[in-house]
Amino acid sequence: MAATQIPHRPSPERHRGERVGWLRAAVLGANDGIVSIAGLVVGVAAAGSPHTTVLLTGVAGIVAGAMSMAAGEYVSVRSQADTEQADLKIERSELRDAPEEELEELAGIYQARGLDAALARQVAEQLTAHDALAAHARDELGFTPTLAARPLQAAGASAAAFCAGAALPMVAALIAPPAYAEPAIISTTLIALFISGALAAWAGGAPILRGALRVAFWGVLAMAAASVIGRLFNVAV
Could you write out the DSSP letters of every residue in 9-62? Answer: -PPPP--GGGGHHHHHHHHHHHHHHHHHHHHHHHHHHHTT--HHHHHHHHHHHH
Query: Would you state the torsion angle of the CA atoms of residues 138, 142, 143, 146, taken in this order, to the nearest 10 degrees?
Result: 100
**pLDDT score recorded for residue 3:** 42
- Categorize the per-residue pLDDT at 233 as very low, low, confident or very high, splitting at 50, 70 and 90: low
**Model confidence over 85-114: pLDDT tens digits?**
898 999 999 999 998 999 999 999 999 998
pLDDT reported for residue 230: 66
pLDDT of residue 6: 42
pLDDT of residue 147: 66
Give the gyration radius of the chain's Cα atoms: 26
Q: Please say whether the beta carbons of 37 and 61 come within 8 A.
A: yes
Predicted local distance difference test score (pLDDT) of residue 226: 67
Phi-psi region at 235: left, alpha or beta (left = phi > 0; alpha = psi -120 to 50): beta
Task: Answer yes or no: are the C-beta atoms of 150 and 144 closer than 8 Å.
Answer: no
Domain boundaries, the chain: 20-89+152-232, 93-139
CB 183 within 8 A of CB 45: no
Of the candidates 29, 62, 37, 32, the one whose C-alpha atom is nearest the C-alpha of residue 186 is 37
Neighbouring CB atoms inside 10 A of 173's CB total 26
| Confidence band for 64, pLDDT divided at 50, 70 and 90 | very high
Of 13, 22, 12, 15, the C-alpha closest to 205 is 15
Q: How confident is the model at residue 122 (pLDDT cuts 50, 70, 90)?
A: very high
For 9-62, what is each residue's pLDDT tens digit?
444 555 454 555 566 677 778 888 888 888 888 878 777 778 888 888 889 999
Beta carbons within 10 angstroms of residue 197's beta carbon = 27
At residue 208, what is the residue type?
A: I
* pLDDT value of residue 20: 54
CA distance 123 to 42: 61
Q: What is the pLDDT of residue 43?
A: 78
Span 148-156, mean pLDDT? Answer: 81
44 CB-contact burial (10 Å; exposed 0-12 / middle 13-18 / buried 19+): buried
Burial class (CB in 10 A: 0-12, 13-18, 19+), 203: middle
More confident residue, 77 or 227: 77
Q: How confident is the model at residue 237 (pLDDT cuts 50, 70, 90)?
A: very low
Q: How far is CA 162 from CA 32, 66, 213, 229, in A?
A: 6, 6, 20, 24
pLDDT score of 1: 41
In the chain, the DSSP E strands lie at: none
Average pLDDT over residues 66-89: 89
CB 197 within 8 A of CB 211: yes
